[in-house]
Each structure stands twice: as C-alpha cells, then as structure tokens.
Amino acid sequence: MQRSDEETSLFYSRVPNDTIYQFLEDLVRANPDICAFETIGRSTEGRALRIVKIGYPGYAKPAIWIDAGIHAREWIAPATATFIINRLIRTKYSDETAELLKEFDFYILPSANPDGYEHSRLFDRFWRKTRSRNSNSILGLFCIGVDPNRNYGFQWKMAGSSSNPCSQTYHGPYPFSEPETKSISDFVYKNRHRVKLFVTLHSYSQLILTPWYGINSI
C-alpha cells in the first residue's frame, strides 16, 4: 500500500493535534460504512478527546480499546495510533482486516493528553504531564500538571508515583482528577461488558507490558 505525502508527514514528524484530526476526519468521512467519530470528553484546556470507532455493523460486538499520547512528549505514540487507524480503514477490503472488523469494534483515541502534546510541541520538548493547575499546596501553585498514567484509580498513590506536584510522576490530588483520565475511565466503564482488550501506546522502552494485579501471589 503506497503512502501519500500527507501520510508520510503524519507518521514520521511532529504535527499539531488539529492536523492529525483533520486527516482522520477526511478518512472517516470517506468511509462511513465502517467508522465514525465520537467525543468522549474535553481536556483541561478544552480540547476535544475524540475517538475513532472502526468496525462493520453488528450488535454488542467485543471491543478493543487503544489510546496513545498519555505522556505528552512521546510523540511517536499518537503517530502510531493514527497509522493503525489509517491501516485498518484503508485495508478494510482485505480478507484479514475484514475478518477483524466483522468480529471486533476498535475504539482508538489518538491523543489522550492533547494539552500536554501541544505544550511539548510548541514550548517544552520534554513535557510529560497534563496542563492542569494544582492549588492544593504551595508547590502546586508553581508546578503544573499531573502524570495521567499515575492518575487512574487502581493502586493510586502507590509505588512508582509521587505526591510532589513538581515531580514528573505526580499522581494528582485524587484519582481521576484529570478530565483526560476521567473521560477514558467513564467510556471504558460504560462499555465494560464489551471491551476485551485495553492497549496504551507509549514510546522509548520497546517493551510489551502486561497488566499487574497488585499482588505477587497470582
């Protein structure tokens, strides 16, 4: 499958969120038989958290969730999610993809931390967190953002996170304090009987990490 210049730019360079979503809007508009957009919430700065649903029509099909870019500076993650969306849609007539799309619905969030992504792109290349302001402490007045990957409710405030608002791994003032993580949680919980696989795309480590149950006896 030959790539256009637009696709090459999206997959191999840093581009604004708006450019990613314009590309996806055009793709969805051209393929209404298998895909649609849905807004599941808004970020701290008001950016839409938009997912692409991909799949052939069917009732209560099992679903696969994929999100990317929860850590703002990991630019390749949103590009990879966009690549996956593009690939699933453009190869919908191939036997392999058609079988997947008949059996599963894919829900893909290309940019889970759009505020942080734009800040890292425009101002601070190594920005990792969200862009919320924490007024719960003196430090919080000067240090912006929460590590959204440490803000989920399960094992919140445990090892691997920090209570210091200035830390890169600050877990936030309470679970799901960030609209980004709350929106993801609400959507997945609403579809909990269908979502069979939850994948989060990161970068750098070149690892496949499986979920940790919280104890070592299993």
Does 14 map to a domain?
A: yes
Domain containing 140: what range? Answer: 133-177
Look at residue 209 in the predicted model and tell me its pLDDT. 86
| One domain for residues 40 and 95 | yes
The answer, yes or no, to whether residue 12 has pLDDT greater than 80, is no
Weakest mean pLDDT among 45-54, 138-147, 178-187:
138-147
Q: Give me the number of domains the chain comprises.
A: 2
Residue 109 has a pLDDT of: 98
Indicate whether 55 and 137 sit together in one domain. Answer: no
Residues 115, 120, 123, 127, Cα dihedral to 10°:
100
Q: Spell out the SS3 assignment of 78-123.
A: HHHHHHHHHHHHHCCCCHHHHHHHHHCEEEEECCCCHHHHHHHHHC
According to the model, what pLDDT value does residue 14 have? Answer: 77
Same domain, 99 and 167: no
Mean pLDDT computed over 42-57: 97
Do 97 and 172 belong to one domain?
no
State mean pLDDT over 132-143: 76
Say if residue 151 is in the same domain as residue 77. no
The CATH number given to whatever domain includes residue 33 is 3.40.630.10
Same-domain pairing of 161 and 70: no
Is residue 183 assigned to a domain?
yes
One domain, residues 171 and 182: no
Sign of the dihedral through C-alpha 84, 16, 121, 114: negative
What per-residue confidence (pLDDT) applies to 1? Answer: 53
User: Most confidently modeled of 11-20, 122-131, 159-168?
Assistant: 122-131
80 and 165 part of one domain: no
Q: Are residues 186 and 165 in the same domain?
A: no
**Under 8 Å CB-to-CB from 28, ≥6 apart: which residues?**
35, 36, 37, 52, 89
Residue 31 and residue 63 in one domain: yes
Asked if the structure places residue 217 within a domain, the reply is no
Three-state DSSP at 208 gives: coil
* pLDDT tens-digit map of 53-96: 999 998 889 999 999 999 999 999 999 999 999 999 999 999 99
Question: What value does the mean pLDDT take over residues 147-156?
Answer: 94
Domain check: are 85 and 150 in the same one? no
Confidence check: pLDDT of 3 > 60? no
CA atoms of 197 and 65, how far apart (whole Å): 6
The answer to the question of residue 151 being in a domain is yes
Read off the pLDDT band of 206 (50, 70, 90): confident
- Specify the pLDDT at position 215: 64
Tell me what the mean pLDDT of segment 26-54 comes to: 97
Q: What is the pTM of this model?
A: 0.91
